[in-house]
Structure 1
Amino acid sequence: MPWASINRIYAKPSNTSSMEVPPSSSSLKAGPALTASADSGGRFELSDHGYGKSAVKLLHVQRDADYHSIREYEVFTELKLHSETAYVVGDNKDVVATDSQKNTVYLLAKKHGVKTPEEFGAVVVSHFLYMYKQVVEARCKVVEYPWERLHAEAPHNHAFVFSPTATRWCQVSQARHEAVTVKSGLSGLRVLKTTQSAFVDFVQDEYTTLTDAAERIFSTVVEAEWIYDNMRTADFDNAWLTVKDAILDKFAGPADIGVYSPSVQHTLYQAEKTVLEKVPEINWIKMTMPNKHYLNIDMSKFPANVTKGDPNHNIYQPIDKPAGLIYAQLRRKPKSHL
């Protein structure tokens, strides 16, 4: 669903709505709060602080007659308060309890429903900034559990299958009077292909033992994250699927002939380029592709009578560690104002 509510972009406290009256706080009226710097005579300072509730699990079921839809989330909230008094002097008057944050997640899901991780994260962040004057920054991370509709000759009305091909997540953050930031991501997308991958012509010197590989198994576990430049027009579900499809397409290619990969770097870049071409709302995307090595086993050490068999049988040794690590971030160049 496109980003629709302008109110989610800039959050400011409201004292006019009967439903959004911030709680009274004596510390807000008493002037500057005691800080770590003041407490330590200027020797120390709290350079960062915050607190929240982790791993709030919820399942949202949308029942439209006999046809049901589900989305299951794990939600993490985090608030930063204007004062340091809870840390320095143990004054909790401004503290919104983490249990209250948990309850807020459930109540907002009930009130507004759950459409996409990004939109729900924005609802949560906006609520805390509007509801509590003492909150100067709010963050919400949402991890989605990968459920898919079960197909039994036809798509089932109310049955689903857990399909962990990749994990979808997002992090929504906003400081008071500033624009909301939405970072989305994909993790745990493990892929492997048995041909059309090579790694040759790299540096050969006295430190090198690796030989050129004109043919090798290519396997990786893809991690990706990206930032939206325009949230109002973004279709978050479509953008996530576009990222996943771009990775699979540039990794595997057409079903019958595949696609050649001269390096992990090249495949990674082609996937990122495709995403920026297809989703104009994405400002930058970063991908990480570690090598999951499958090494040839040297059968020449064994007698021919014990290795003789079908030549189409190929055996490799999976190696988890150490692993090569390749990453890159591709961003749009700023437009010139000249």
Structure 2
Amino acid sequence: MPWTSANRIYAKPSNSSSGEGSIGTNNARVALTAAADSGGRFELSDHGYGKDSVKLLHVHRDGNFHTIREFEVSTELKLTSETAYVLGDNKEVVATDSQKNTVYLLAKKHGVKTPEEFGALVVNHFLYMYKQVVEAKCRVVEYPWERLQAETPHNHAFLFSPTATRWAEISQKRHEAVVVKSGLSGLRVLKTTQSAFVDFVQDEYTTLSDAAERIFSTVVEAEWIYDNMRTADFDNAWLTVKDAILDKFAGPPDVGIYSPSVQHTLYQAEKCVLEKVAEISWIKMTMPNKHYLNIDVSKFPANITKGDPRHHIYQPIDKPAGLIYAQLRRRPKSRL
């Protein structure tokens, strides 16, 4: 379901308001900021605090048919005031335990449809509940459960299926639009043919030979930003990204698809995503090489190595690894 914002009334200011500089107290001046406290020598250039890794299982019971989604939610707040740091004054501080409780209570009241929608609900709540909060962030990681298939889909049993991990990072500054970044991590893939790497730079530093046929394996990381949350279908968009990666990596099941380089495969996947999901403004992917090297058996006697020619043995090498990444974004439309 597309995400829509909800209008909420601002809560009353929490305790006391704070400002820049210092205030007078019994003819003494109390520094309210790091700059004032240090006589202008230092400034608190960034600060924030929150609750990390709040674990949450949402079960939706519709008669005998149940649906689950499991999440790990992290929250972060930035206050207008620096007094908690400079003075040890906690009057503006929303306790991290309260942030944890907020996650559970919002989930109980509204349910959890998608990581993006729930994260937007959380940050929206903190901004409108506490006027001293100038920015709120929420990271939601989803654990990959799928329904158990026992001839037919099971009503209430599930299988942990860690093909890839889904996550979302949502942030919002007061009086600004919500920013939703989604991602995919840990998608490990391998194909045994239709991959090459040739015609690269050859000079006095090169020992690598052209490989017209090689194993291609990688662990894909991807992240993307939405520029229109109101029409976005977040579940469908995430599946579209995953499917685009698998399609441009593997190709048709009978013949596959040729990969002249990791760079080309990565670009084709990103291009496919932007063509299919209009709400995504840019996408970035990272694909490290997971090398599987040929084992040289030429030094061994033929009677030792001769066997079924269909057997091919490779040595997995995790480190060092090549690292390839690119970000593809939409170009601004011309005003002409």
TM score, norm. by length of structure 2? 0.95
1:199 and 2:194 correspond: no
1:5 and 2:11 correspond: no
Distance in 2 (alpha carbons) for counterparts of 1:147 and 1:323: 30
Aligned residue in 2 for 1:297 = 295
Aligned residue in 2 for 1:212 = 210
Is the CA contact (8 Å cut-off) linking 2:216 and 2:289 kept in structure 1?
A: yes
Is the CA contact (8 Å cut-off) linking 1:171 and 1:184 kept in structure 2?
A: yes
1:327 and 2:328 correspond: no
- What is the identity, as a one-letter code, of the residue corresponding to 1:52? G
Q: Deviations over 1:220-264 (max 9, x none)?
A: 000000000100000000000000000000000000110000000
Is the CA contact (8 Å cut-off) linking 1:193 and 1:252 kept in structure 2?
A: yes
Aligned residue in 2 for 1:14 = 9
Is the CA contact (8 Å cut-off) linking 2:56 and 2:71 kept in structure 1?
A: yes
Aligned residue in 2 for 1:265 = 263
Distance in 1 (alpha carbons) for counterparts of 2:104 and 2:56: 7
Distance in 2 (alpha carbons) for counterparts of 1:269 and 1:131: 43
Is the CA contact (8 Å cut-off) linking 1:22 and 1:131 kept in structure 2?
A: no
Aligned mate of 2:226, from 212, 225, 228:
228
1:167 and 2:165 correspond: yes
Q: Deviations over 1:5-38 (max 9, x none)?
A: 354xxxxx834xxxx445333647x987710000
Aligned mate of 1:37, from 2, 27, 35:
35
Aligned mate of 2:237, from 231, 236, 239:
239
Query: Counterpart of 1:126 in 2: which secondary structure?
Result: helix
- What is the identity, as a one-letter code, of the residue corresponding to 2:191? K
Cα RMSD after superposing both structures? 1.6
Distance in 1 (alpha carbons) for counterparts of 2:162 and 2:209: 36
Aligned residue in 2 for 1:337 = 335
Instruction: Tell me the CA shift for residue 304 of structure 1.
Output: 1.6
Q: Deviations over 1:282-305 (max 9, x none)?
A: 000000000000000000111222
Distance in 2 (alpha carbons) for counterparts of 1:38 and 1:64: 58
Instruction: Tell me the CA shift for residue 133 of structure 1.
Output: 0.7
Matches within 5 A, 1:268-287: 268-287=266-285
- What is the identity, as a one-letter code, of the residue corresponding to 1:255? P
1:63 and 2:61 correspond: yes
Instruction: Tell me the CA shift for residue 171 of structure 1.
Output: 0.3
Query: Counterpart of 1:300 in 2: which secondary structure?
Result: coil
Equivalent pairs, count: 329
Is the CA contact (8 Å cut-off) linking 2:291 and 2:321 kept in structure 1?
A: yes
Aligned residue in 2 for 1:112 = 110
TM score, norm. by length of structure 1? 0.95
Instruction: Tell me the CA shift for residue 4 of structure 1.
Output: 2.5
Q: Deviations over 1:101-129 (max 9, x none)?
A: 00100000001100000000000000000
Instruction: Tell me the CA shift for residue 336 of structure 1.
Output: 1.3
Query: Counterpart of 1:52 in 2: which secondary structure?
Result: coil
Distance in 1 (alpha carbons) for counterparts of 2:197 and 2:145: 37
- What is the identity, as a one-letter code, of the residue corresponding to 2:220? V
1:190 and 2:181 correspond: no
Aligned residue in 1 for 2:251 = 253
Q: Deviations over 1:192-242 (max 9, x none)?
A: 000000000000000000000000000000000000010000000000000
Distance in 1 (alpha carbons) for counterparts of 2:171 and 2:18: 25
Distance in 2 (alpha carbons) for counterparts of 1:24 and 1:90: 15
Aligned residue in 1 for 2:28 = none
Q: Deviations over 1:258-281 (max 9, x none)?
A: 000000000000000000000000
Unaligned runs of 5+ in 2: 24-30
